[in-house]
Structure 1
Amino acid sequence: MIAFEEIPPAGLHAPLVWRITRGQQADAATVRDWLAAQRHLYDTRLDQYGAVLIRGFAALHCATDFNTVLAAAGASLLDYVGGTSPRRTVCGRVMTATEVPADYSIPIHQEMSYTATPPERIAFFCVTPADAGGETTLADMREVTRRIDSGVLQRFRQKGGVQLRRNLPLPEHAALRPGVPKPWTEVFTTTERSVAESAAAMRGWATQWLDDGSLQLWQEVLPATRVHPRTGDDLWFNQLHIFSPIAALRWARNDGRHVLAERMEVALRDAPDRVDEVLHGDGTPIAAEDVLHVAEVLDACALPHAWQTGDVLMLDNLLAGHGRRQYSGPRSILAALIGARDGAAAPEAAGARNEVSA
């Protein structure tokens, strides 16, 4: 029999903890069945807290165990086509959390918030915590939204939301770009231009091939905020602070990645069409001060969560943002993207009928 105690968050953005007090040696199938039996409770807690950490199962070790436990989620796991972070598939649709180098931090963000149909939830599993650093940072997106200046929010609403423009290089050119750009062959899991074009068109994305073989991708115009389908919270939901060049420069400098920052400055001066950009939905530039304000709010709301082997962390992708601190030593965190749960509506974009082209 499995038993647990529920430990409320000690800090503003910390997860609710379910600490296992009996049944710590339960195998993955037993954990799956137990979690399925607790599903109504953890659904309720996720809507309330945005993050639930299950800690104390000693017999969960690998991607296969995690994949088994995820069957209790009651929804299909999603692929990562169109995603921006470097990842590897490990088992089924279980992936590495990210393969961004250890000297990068990762700002608080919501998974695939630059798409019209992002995952409802994201689950993480700790195989091996880092020797030092490597905490996953968490943020309450209700608090983030409250802290963003009302004038900034109003500008995004008046100007039709946001549009992400991405430049996806050929694999042989990726190392020459600032940041950690994904080649278009990896984004669309193909080496055929026509297949990539079709996959983009299915998502409503416009494409253009540049003379260096890179793919210029204009994703759909999306609102800057979205309404949670059950709580009704209208929440900041985009990655302006990651893809805007001025924010990328700030991020590199804060991490101490000064060589990369210099490369970004050169790229902005000499080849601005080869770097990613975020525009207002009406096509106008976003003011630098608005970009930096949002980045600063997200940084201020980030709280580090230290991993222990066997931890399972479930996040509501609208209510909770996540990121990562720099680290040293080996670190293995797995992730899975989870679609709308059985009987639940997918997240609806705030004002989508007015702001997003069909």
Structure 2
Amino acid sequence: MPANPIFFAETKLPHQKNYGGALFPAVLSPTAAVEHSRNRPSVLTAAVKDQKPWLDSLLHRHGAILFRGFDSVSTASDFNDVVEAFGYEELPYVGGAAPRTNVVGRVFTANESPPDQKIPFHHEMAQVPNYPSKLFFFCEVEPANGGETPIVLSHIIYDKMTEKYPDFVDKLHKHGLIYTRVLGEEDDPSSPIGRGWKSTFLTKDKTLAEERAAELNMKLEWTEDGAKTIMGPIPAIKNDETRKRKIWFNSMVAAYTGWEDKRNDPKKAVTFGDGNVLPDNIMYDCLKILEDESVAIPWRKGDVLLIDNLAVLHSRKPFTPPRRILASLCK
């Protein structure tokens, strides 16, 4: 289905990669006609509503879409309107690790961990069974320096890892992964996985927290000053049914190289599903492959990035403040 030329122009950036003729990510900017309508606060919202089937097909082909140059999107509320225009159902952030704050409507801050910390590649909430299918990010305040959100196609990583480490991938197929995280009672903003148990389960009631953990098939053990969660065994590799390919759907490298704070040892945060430790050399080589295949487009104020969470892993580079990236998760 062709795009309506009234709204969107497909543009190219030097950062994009070409996979089988499809640029990653797709980049859409306003047409000349839309440029003349910059006063309309809802121009991107209207364009999304008009072109929703085409945008869905574009996302399916490319895995991610960057909307750039739509000046009508400048606030968290504007961003919330764009998210609503897509019509995807909201996903409550239950079981996730990142410290976040609700801003307005369906909009939250992205991971609030300190700016000097890198957040490694992961599929959003891949460590729990109820994960989002779509992610939105919005640049409200452009970073002073750094702070990109690199993205990478998951099936490319699966193919490269299978080619280089077939025995390791076989073990992942056979055993899956176990994720272990130690949580405090309250959020710890100094940690990239600092979400406390109250925020993780959206309750102050321990009994209700236990019920919500059980709904996720997650073991919850109370400690003196918090809780320990044990998730798994859970698959590390999934089939992307709509695209007929296997995907590297996990938070393995993120946990192994980044789940570190005063409570957590990253080497113990993730293991094979049979409890055996993961090979250190393969973990760091996988990280290198992820970085080599990734695309990191510097943020500009007003950017909206839509990611298919079944196709794409994402991360965050360290940055010099100010920087404010907002997010929204969809079923």
Query: Is the CA contact (8 Å cut-off) linking 1:167 and 1:276 kept in structure 2?
Result: no
State the alpha-carbon separation in 1 of the partners of residues 192 and 123 from structure 2: 19
Query: Is the CA contact (8 Å cut-off) linking 2:111 and 2:192 kept in structure 1?
Result: no
1:15-54 superposed matches below 5 A: 15-21=25-31, 22-24=33-35, 25=38, 27-54=40-67
Superposition deviation, residue 132 in structure 1: 1.0
1:195-214 superposed matches below 5 A: 195-210=208-223, 212-214=224-226
- Residue in structure 2 matching 1:239, options 235, 238, 251: 251
RMSD, aligned CA: 2.5
Tell me the residue number matched to 1:290. Answer: 282
Tell me the residue number matched to 1:355. Answer: none
Tell me the residue number matched to 1:119. Answer: 132
Superposition deviation, residue 12 in structure 1: 2.0
State the alpha-carbon separation in 2 of the partners of residues 27 and 163 from structure 1: 49
Is 1:337 the counterpart of 2:329 in the alignment?
Answer: yes
1:203-352 superposed matches below 5 A: 203-210=216-223, 212-244=224-256, 247-248=257-258, 277-339=269-331
Gaps of at least 5 residues in structure 1 are 253-259, 340-358
- Percent same amino acid at aligned positions? 28
Tell me the residue number matched to 2:21. Answer: none
Tell me the residue number matched to 1:348. Answer: none
Query: Is the CA contact (8 Å cut-off) linking 1:108 and 1:302 kept in structure 2?
Result: no
Query: Is the CA contact (8 Å cut-off) linking 2:42 and 2:72 kept in structure 1?
Result: no
Query: Is the CA contact (8 Å cut-off) linking 1:27 and 1:60 kept in structure 2?
Result: no
Distance 1:65 1:302, change over 3 A: same
State the alpha-carbon separation in 1 of the partners of residues 51 and 65 from structure 2: 12
Deviations 1:71-111 (A, max 9, x none): 22222121211111111111112111120111012212211
Query: Is the CA contact (8 Å cut-off) linking 2:122 and 2:315 kept in structure 1?
Result: yes
State the alpha-carbon separation in 2 of the partners of residues 146 and 276 from structure 1: 26
Query: Is the CA contact (8 Å cut-off) linking 1:9 and 1:16 kept in structure 2?
Result: no
1:77 counterpart SS class: coil
State the alpha-carbon separation in 2 of the partners of residues 27 and 143 from structure 1: 40
2:17 counterpart SS class: coil
State the alpha-carbon separation in 2 of the partners of residues 181 and 99 from structure 1: 9
Superposition deviation, residue 325 in structure 1: 1.2
Distance 1:79 1:276, change over 3 A: farther
* Farther-moved stretch of structure 1 (92-101 vs 149-158): 149-158
TM-score of the superposed pair, with normalisation by structure 1: 0.81
Deviations 1:258-309 (A, max 9, x none): xx7xx78xx75xxx9xx85112122332232332232222222222111111
Letter in 1 for 2:156: E
Superposition deviation, residue 205 in structure 1: 0.9
- Residue in structure 2 matching 1:132, options 126, 140, 145: 145
* Farther-moved stretch of structure 1 (275-284 vs 72-81): 275-284
TM-score of the superposed pair, with normalisation by structure 2: 0.87
State the alpha-carbon separation in 1 of the partners of residues 196 and 97 from structure 2: 9
Tell me the residue number matched to 1:89. Answer: 102
Superposition deviation, residue 180 in structure 1: 4.4
Is 1:106 the counterpart of 2:119 in the alignment?
Answer: yes
State the alpha-carbon separation in 2 of the partners of residues 12 and 129 from structure 1: 23
Q: How many residues align?
A: 315
* Farther-moved stretch of structure 1 (32-41 vs 98-107): 32-41
State the alpha-carbon separation in 2 of the partners of residues 45 and 78 from structure 1: 22
Letter in 2 for 1:39: K
Query: Is the CA contact (8 Å cut-off) linking 2:139 and 2:324 kept in structure 1?
Result: yes
Letter in 2 for 1:61: S
Query: Is the CA contact (8 Å cut-off) linking 1:124 and 1:334 kept in structure 2?
Result: yes
Distance 1:141 1:9, change over 3 A: farther
Letter in 1 for 2:29: R
Deviations 1:126-180 (A, max 9, x none): 111111111111112222112212222112112x2111111112338x58x9764
State the alpha-carbon separation in 1 of the partners of residues 220 and 197 from structure 2: 11
Superposition deviation, residue 9 in structure 1: 6.2
State the alpha-carbon separation in 1 of the partners of residues 158 and 63 from structure 2: 14
Gaps of at least 5 residues in structure 2 are 19-23
Tell me the residue number matched to 1:167. Answer: 182
Tell me the residue number matched to 2:76. Answer: 63
Distance 1:23 1:182, change over 3 A: same
Superposition deviation, residue 32 in structure 1: 1.8
State the alpha-carbon separation in 1 of the partners of residues 286 and 272 from structure 2: 14
